A and B are shown apart, each in its own frame.
Chain A
Amino acid sequence: MKKQVSLHYEFLKGLWEIHPIFKQALGLCPTLAVTVSAINGLAMGLATTFVLIFSSVIISSIRKIVPSQVRIATYILIISTFVTIVDLVMKAKFPELSKALGPFIPLIVVNCLILGRAEAFASKNRIFRSFIDALGNGTGFLLGLLVLGSIRELLGTKCIFGFQILPDGFSTWMVMILPAGAFLTLGLLLGFANAYTKWKKEKSKKEILITN
């Protein structure tokens, strides 16, 4: 029997250890494209998390009856159903946000984060465990988008969520709200994340050496 890890860890791993953006580098296309402002990042993160949780739960619950030959087709069918629901609900109730996110809501269908979690986790684990895993990964994705969106909005327009934070004298960095700013910010954040992991690893190695 496979060793079971705690549910607690199942959630937390999505926030750092296998963080969808900074560690798995999944779903980078929406990450780069929609994060011109914190609110866009938040909305995209929520929409993706919603789709991720529901499709993970459904996929996990039918994992035993889906033949492996058609599993991808079935997963995509389930994922696209939830994406279309999100798209319609947003168009009906949040037309402004739906306009701002444009084609990126329908494109959640092909966000490899969702199919990735379905294939790697939900199709092999129990329903509740898949739910926790999806929640963790979704939250990680949401936080990543929020950080990226906040940095770009702050430097590009002096605001976060539309509230001015930096003083009037600060001259805005136009590049941050252009696509190039997305690549720069994401690249730096990825670099920091990796540097931190490396530093921590070496530190723990040294500690082991000292205690021995």
Chain B
Amino acid sequence: MKKILQIILVLTFTASISGFVLSSVNNWAKPFIEENRIKAISQAIFQVQSEGMRYEKLNLEEMDVFEVFDENDNSLGYAVVHQGNGFQGIIKLIFGINKELNRIKAIEVLEQVETPGLGSLITEDNFKNRFKNLNAQPLIKVVKDRKPSHNNEVQAITGATISSKAVARIVNEAVEKLKKFNGIEK
């Protein structure tokens, strides 16, 4: 009997102390974590819309779209977060697009688990720069073994065609979806 009591007491005691400590740490950490999340998002938005000064989240279902404004409060276009399947897992990216939805400004990869050294090259500037000022209408096409000849074409990374195509596909999907919403938002 005494043993059982001791077991109950020790476990209850350790568990309550642990709960108390964790809730205090969590209370302390929560605002920082939230701040980091917002900072990461706004940093990414201004990376893909480099002239942007402030942004507003649009109320769209199933997609995170931000309208970005310049210093005179003129709309520059949108920053769109979208994700899709890559070679090994989900690729999540954000891209900036103009108001007419026909020209990509820049892209940033937010999350990816592609093969290190091959597919993961989609996070490098060398690849991301290929999307700068790219025509999004007609849809972006990925080309292999040759230089792009139209301004809606992107050259694939050698050895990572699937990852390169995935990025283009995710951007295209987002543009298509956005076109449906355009005009009804706000």
0/1 per residue, A59-96, Cβ < 8 Å to B?
A: 00010011101100110011011001100110111010
Q: Is A36 an interface residue (CB 8 A)?
A: yes
Are B10 and A95 in contact, CB atoms less than 8 angstroms apart? Answer: no
Q: How many residues of A contact B (CB 8 A)?
A: 26
Given A77-B14, A78-B14, A85-B22, are A91 and B7 also a contact pair (CB < 8 Å)? Answer: no
Contact A67 B7 (CB under 8 A): yes
Residues of A within 8 A of B33 (CB): 88, 91-92, 95
A73 pairs with B36, CB closer than 8 A: no
Partner of A95, one of B3, B11, B15, B36: B36
CB distance from A88 to the nearest CB of B (A): 4
Given contacts A92-B32, A92-B33, contact A73 B11 (CB under 8 A): yes
14 contacting pairs across A/B (C-beta < 8 A): A65-B6, A67-B3, A69-B3, A77-B15, A80-B18, A81-B22, A84-B22, A85-B22, A88-B29, A89-B25, A89-B29, A92-B28, A95-B40, A178-B117
Residues on A facing B (Cβ under 8 Å): 36, 62, 65-67, 69-70, 73-74, 77-78, 80-81, 84-85, 88-89, 91-93, 95, 156, 172, 174, 177-178
- Other A-B contacts than A69-B3, A84-B25, A92-B32, 12 sampled, CB-CB below 8 A, are A62-B14, A67-B6, A67-B10, A70-B10, A77-B11, A77-B15, A78-B14, A84-B22, A85-B25, A88-B29, A174-B116, A177-B117
